[in-house]
Structure 1
């Protein structure tokens, strides 16, 4: 049942008019005409007074509250509120209850998201502190040992200096990767797009990491539909950085005698680049966060393998600048597949651009 100012006023006026007419009818000196006149006066005055109070004081203010809550919930200004809102909502009190419930739910979701972001922030600060502390403390230890007298022993001196240099090199890589991520996120690094053959770039990558793969006896290969060129428009060096990172990860987190494949699947307008391995895989609960900066699936295992912990975050941001989304499919102890799509450049378009 719907209530508004008119229906409530009418109901109350009928009640008051009925009571007035009944009271007048039991008075002997009052005629039927007088009773009718009393009924009409009491009905009219009650209806007008009640309607004025409800419509212009009560329901109007409730309607304003209703609209304000709607504006807060939807981040709209008063002029953006749909003009038929009050017409559709016959009972503003019910509407307010609904809006408050929805608004409270939205705020609960925002609070939960803020708590999650705060947790991520704490984890990030803890991770970056740990990552910076390890090479700094190692270098400090080597140098202090030399200062304490080991510098006089040439063999010890050379060995410790090499270790210190290695730690500083790891620190430099970490800082460079962190700066790269920050600059890409801030839009300070411009992508230099050019048209090139994707297959040539991937062959270059595989030749570059061939020695690293041989050390673990990992087979790396390229699978493509044919030897025909696959032209794309992208930043050659940045895209090469993505593929190198994914292939190197496939080698790092793999078993001896394993394999890593770069698979190209050509569609009508796009090409799918997939880097697949038969390595350790990634647990399902970690897959949603694997592209976060410094996020570790298993800290001890990752630390043993080395790296800055920023590679996948950099890949994600570079591909976003190419309007591509990196996807992951992984089964623990069976392997992982990282894939993304890029837009093709037709061969005739590539030839025209070369002219």
Structure 2
């Protein structure tokens, strides 16, 4: 019996200390206060159960046996209330609290009545008593509140992505399962359905001991309720107090000196242990705060990125619509200008008038090229570019493009030389119209950026299963450090000469995207400013 008393006293005292630690932590979270009150009530339940077995007469046994019902009556709603505010704190209405705790407070009116326990007699390690209607109410009340609490905890576990929170919920749930299964089975189900409380002298302290173990693990390992540091201080103080208390009961001076020395050594070790834990917790809290800030920053960046993507899509749609609307009138304008230049509406005898018409035609052509580039960029970025695949002879296609651009080159007195091998070059799989646009863009750039009376060399050749198309000019050249920028959107070199050349900065960007879509590669080479440039793309040969 002494062993039961010692064990029950230690466990009850442990529950009171745990509740006091949590309460004195002064956390602003409601979950801390609720859990502290729950621990204190559980300690009172275990202690009153112990006194019901340790009392010397039937009146005291009946008194303490009737009091044991108070703890469970309030523990059920407190457990349910805790599950609603942990791990995420939520506001609770006063109306909800009123309905939740009304049965518990009403039960206090009948604690010392026959509605609770009518008679009791003690055995060796069990009590024989007749439970009243209040036990039935308690059973229904606890089943409702505890089931709701476990449902809330399970829902929080499934909804949480934080492994720390999930570990806390696991250990807290295991602690509550031990309480409800072992403690409730011996102190509620056994008296209610079997007419006795056999084994209840061990049930409450053992279930409460297991509960404290699981909660202690949650506190020390997973920062449950964030009271790890104060828990370590309290445990250290409790151990030191017990050692000092034992020293005063020494029977000799030597034993007193030994125990006092042992107390000092242990106190020093506990002091350094507390400092180490405090430092560790400080570092972990800083890392946790940094992680929270990083997560918050990542969420902001994701939101900004999503907004930018929406704006980019809206921009692409606007450019696409605007370009479509511009292309039709520009095509009509070009057609009428061509008809006027050809004299369909009458002869143009005045030379100044013909010069103006030529300038208008060239400006219209530039606008059409710009609109086509914008449309290509819009379709490429939105993934709506339609490609018509076919097997093409790169040499024949290059010859056709060169013939179309020869008049433009002749204006600047630039000679375009197409160099093709004597043997037949293998065919490539591509879209003929789009591949012609790439060739046109590369040759046209060579014409634009080359001085008069120079040569633009074009090479078509096959090597290692690839067909190469290369354009080499004698123009202004490119700084090797800036070559990568050439294929970026709206990128143009910061050269004085370049500012005098018309262009949107989209041509090479479109060329790269198209060649990438064809499964090829494109690049530029230059020895530097004033040494000309070479632009080349390569496509895989289609197997026969």
Same fold per superposition (TM over 0.5)? yes
Residues 95-106 of structure 1: pairs in structure 2 closer than 5 A = none
What is the match of residue 263 of structure 2? Answer: 38
Pairing 1:149-164 to 2, within 5 Å after superposition = 155=350, 163-164=359-360
**181, 187, 190: which one aligns with 2:377:** 181
- Partners of 1:308 and 1:186 in 2: CA distance: 20
- Which of these residues, 445, 450, 454, is aligned with residue 258 of structure 1? 454
Indicate how the Cα distance of structure 1 residues 197 and 165 shifts in structure 2: closer, same or farther if over 3 A, else same: closer
SS in 1 for 2:378: helix
Cα contact 2:477–2:533 (8 A) shared by 1: yes
- C-alpha distance in 2 between matches for 1:157 and 1:277: 34
Contact 1:191–1:235, Cα closer than 8 Å, also in 2:
yes
| Alpha carbons of structure 1 residues 267 and 199: separation in structure 2 relative to 1, 3 Å | same
Which residue number corresponds to residue 322 of structure 1? 518
How far 1:212 moved relative to its partner? 3.1
- Equivalent residue, structure 2, for 1:207: 403
| 1:239 Cα deviation from its structure 2 partner | 1.0
2:497 and 2:408 mapped to 1: Cα distance?
A: 18
- Are 1:333 and 2:530 matched, yes or no? yes
Contact 2:370 2:504 (C-alpha < 8 Å) held by counterparts: yes
* Structure with the larger RCO, 1 or 2 (CA within 8 Å, 6+ apart): 1
Gaps of 5+ in 1: 18-23, 77-106, 108-131, 140-153, 349-355
2:286 to 52, 62, 71: 62
The match for 1:249 is 445
TM-score if structure 1 supplies the norm length?
Answer: 0.56
Q: RMSD of the TM alignment (CA)?
A: 4.8
Stretch moving more, 204-213 or 41-50 = 41-50
Alignment length, in residue pairs?
262
Q: Tell me, in whole angstroms, the C-alpha distance in 2 between the residues paired with 1:248 and 1:284.
A: 21
Deviation at residue 306 of structure 1 after TM alignment: 4.4
The answer to whether the 8 Å contact 1:199/1:230 transfers is no
Distance 1:336 1:277 in 2: 6
Following TM superposition, by how much is the alpha carbon of 1:159 offset from its aligned partner in structure 2, in angstroms?
A: 6.5
TM-score of the two chains, using structure 2 as the length reference: 0.39
Residues 59-78 of structure 1 show CA distances to partners (whole Å, capped at 9, x for unaligned) of: 432343465567679x69xx
Q: Give the Cα–Cα distance (whole angstroms) in 1 for the partners of residues 401 and 362 of structure 2.
A: 24
Deviations 1:277-332 (A, max 9, x none): 12232345654433455544467745655455543232233223224443222232
Q: 1:268 to 1:50 in 2, by over 3 A?
A: same
Task: Please give the secondary structure, in 1, of the residue aligned with 2:533.
Answer: strand
Contact 2:450/2:473, CA 8 A, preserved across alignment:
yes
1:214-293 paired onto structure 2 within 5 Å: 214-284=410-480, 287-293=483-489
**Correspondences of 1:22-171 after superposition (within 5 Å):** 32-43=257-268, 45-46=270-271, 49-50=274-275, 53-55=278-280, 57-65=281-289, 67-68=291-292, 155=350, 163-164=359-360, 167-171=363-367
Larger-gyration structure (1/2): 2
